[in-house]
Chains A and B, each alone.
Chain A
Amino acid sequence: MPSFARQTDEPCTSCHIGSFGPELTARGRSFKLLGYSEQKDGGSPWWERFSGMVLGSFTATGKKQEGGAAPRYGSNNNFALDQASGFVAGRITESVGAFIQLTESGIDRRFVVDNVDIRFGKAFNIGGVDTILGLSGNNNPTVSDPYNSLAAWGHPYVSSALTPSPVGSPMLNGGLTGQVYGVSAYTLVGGLLYAEAGFYDTISHDVRKAFGTGYDVALAHPATYWRLALQQESNKTLYQVGTFGLAVAQRPTGFEATDRFLDYGVDASFQWLGDRTHIVTAYGRAMREEQVLNGSFAGGASDNPKNHLTQIRGNLSYWYQQTYGLTVGGFANRGSLDALAYGSGDAITGSATGQPNTNGWLAEVAWTPFGKRDSWGGSFANLKLGLQYVGYNRFNGGGRNYDGYGRNAADNNTLYAFLWLAF
């Protein structure tokens, strides 16, 4: 965030790959783990804690969406102000800081309390070993993670909201976002072992109404999140492998019986920064969700008492002079056959086969002209222009006529041009 740059008097390139967030360098990960609280010598005034961003775009899909891509939007070739966000991001006091995002969605036309991460982080000498200990209060499992391989901060960092979304997504892919509050404790031991564990519970209905978030999450008891990672980093490289998971028990609306979800997965990160002229990064994760659907099955929302979902994602990026970037990636979702859970019977968003299986690829080129030490705008403003293409081989269980109304997976191929301004 520009507020972090102003607070530390460091350029965006110090903490971010490609001169623009959210992809983090070693310096950026350290800044996050130490509570967003590091500042330039002599301190920074309170007004430097505020930042903003605006995201605008153009979206074109392979085939138009009859009835409109979204309320108030046309069937295809839509310009949009995707979102405007304000941030309170920076130091509160020594070792304590916050990242609080408030967003006005230009698509949904609603105001939302978006990502929240308020944390304490400090480095200690414990038995002669450098050890960071921290606490994060946040509203979204994985928002506290320091790597760019999990859902909250993984690529694509922006994507169109005016294109059909596949059915069936694991809970860790944002299923609880903004509807829960939680605390996690974390540590980085000797710069090698990262461990985090936390609990989440549902935010009250009245508070969610005020926050503008949804109401489809009703946890039967606190959800548990865990994260382990091994890393080896230097000024030029990062090697990271890890595992993560989330256990959720949710009570579907109107039913006493609960649905239980167990997410677990593995991930990896690689960064090679060299002398910053050529930068290569790669991230990947594979995740499985086991679903025990006592509530949904009894309530007629699922064909099966048990389902599963598997999701694999990966991407590879190259940056030249931290200004010109190219990313390619792939994704694949597979899951149980369940017509009640995935069928829907709707054109475009439904699944004629009752399966969530979706796979495809994406490519993105980006230009970030600012954000360097001697850039125009300094720590005041930064800009990213990008062109992203997502291609589907299979969508909601089929390649051709996946919805039963004649729509093919390739009809959802999406060209997304975006302008992302941060200040």
Chain B
Amino acid sequence: MRAPILMAGALGALLLAAPAMAADAVHGARLFDTECADCHTVGKGGANRKGPNLFGILGRPSGQIEGYKYSDANRTAGVTWDAATLTKYLAAPKKAMPGTAMRFAGFDDAKDIGDVIAYLSTLH
């Protein structure tokens, strides 16, 4: 009777560990460079370009960078950027936030989104 409990425990540990193992911030940085860096800077105090600076983005409410001209959609969205909201947004920005000025077409690979979020979470 002990074996099923041990197996359940091992499976639970594996599931808990799986997101950390699956997210690759190094790959996320490369994806960011390819897909995002033309419009966004990531350094602390970095300039806004076509898009706002993303340093400290995780945990930040949307539309809050002072001096940056956000779209009405972003400024009034009332979301806080975390793993869940970013996952939805990066998959289909125009669907998650209709009218957004970010015209990025969206990542078609869920793992890529996780990796980019893992990279963004290092920016603090």
Q: Which residues of A contact B (CB under 8 A)?
A: 8-11, 13-14, 26-27, 30-31, 34, 38-42, 123-126, 128-131, 190-191, 233-237, 275-276, 373
Residues A41 and B52 in contact, CB atoms below 8 Å apart: yes
Residues A237 and B108 in contact, CB atoms below 8 Å apart: yes
B101 within 8 A of A: yes
The number of chain B residues touching the other chain, given as a range, is 20 to 34
Residues A235 and B104 in contact, CB atoms below 8 Å apart: yes
Q: Which residues of B contact A (CB under 8 A)?
A: 30-31, 34-35, 37-39, 47-50, 52, 67-69, 71, 73, 92, 94-95, 97-101, 103-109
Q: What are 29 sample pairs from A and B whose C-beta atoms fall under 8 A apart?
A: A10-B49, A11-B38, A13-B38, A26-B103, A27-B38, A27-B103, A30-B103, A34-B103, A40-B49, A41-B50, A41-B52, A42-B48, A123-B73, A123-B94, A123-B101, A125-B98, A125-B99, A130-B97, A131-B98, A190-B94, A191-B92, A235-B35, A235-B104, A235-B106, A235-B107, A236-B108, A237-B108, A275-B34, A276-B34
CA distance A119 to B49 in the complex (A): 24
Task: Kindly list chain B residues whose C-beta atoms are within 8 Å of the C-beta of A26.
Answer: 103-105
In this complex, the member of B67, B92, B103, B109 whose beta carbon has the largest number of chain A beta carbons within 10 angstroms is B103
Task: Kindly list chain A residues whose C-beta atoms are within 8 Å of the C-beta of B49.
Answer: 9-10, 40-41
Residues A8 and B50 in contact, CB atoms below 8 Å apart: yes
Which of A129, A236, A275 sits near B98, CB closer than 8 Å?
A: A129
Residues A235 and B50 in contact, CB atoms below 8 Å apart: no
Contacts A41-B69, A42-B48 given; indicate if A234 touches B103 (C-beta within 8 A). Answer: no
Task: Kindly list chain A residues whose C-beta atoms are within 8 Å of the C-beta of B68.
Answer: 41
CA distance A275 to B35 in the complex (A): 9
CA distance A14 to B106 in the complex (A): 15
Residues A130 and B35 in contact, CB atoms below 8 Å apart: no
CB of B68 to closest CB in A, whole Å: 6
Residues B108 and A234 in contact, CB atoms below 8 Å apart: yes
Task: Kindly list chain A residues whose C-beta atoms are within 8 Å of the C-beta of B37.
Answer: 373
Residues B104 and A27 in contact, CB atoms below 8 Å apart: yes
Residues A373 and B101 in contact, CB atoms below 8 Å apart: no
Task: Kindly list chain A residues whose C-beta atoms are within 8 Å of the C-beta of B69.
Answer: 41
Q: Smallest CB-CB separation from A38: which chain B residue?
A: B50
In this complex, the member of B68, B107, B108 whose beta carbon has the largest number of chain A beta carbons within 10 angstroms is B108
CA distance A9 to B47 in the complex (A): 12
Contacts A41-B49, A191-B105 given; indicate if A130 touches B100 (C-beta within 8 A). Answer: yes
CA distance A381 to B7 in the complex (A): 63
Task: Kindly list chain B residues whose C-beta atoms are within 8 Å of the C-beta of A126.
Answer: 98
CA distance A131 to B103 in the complex (A): 12
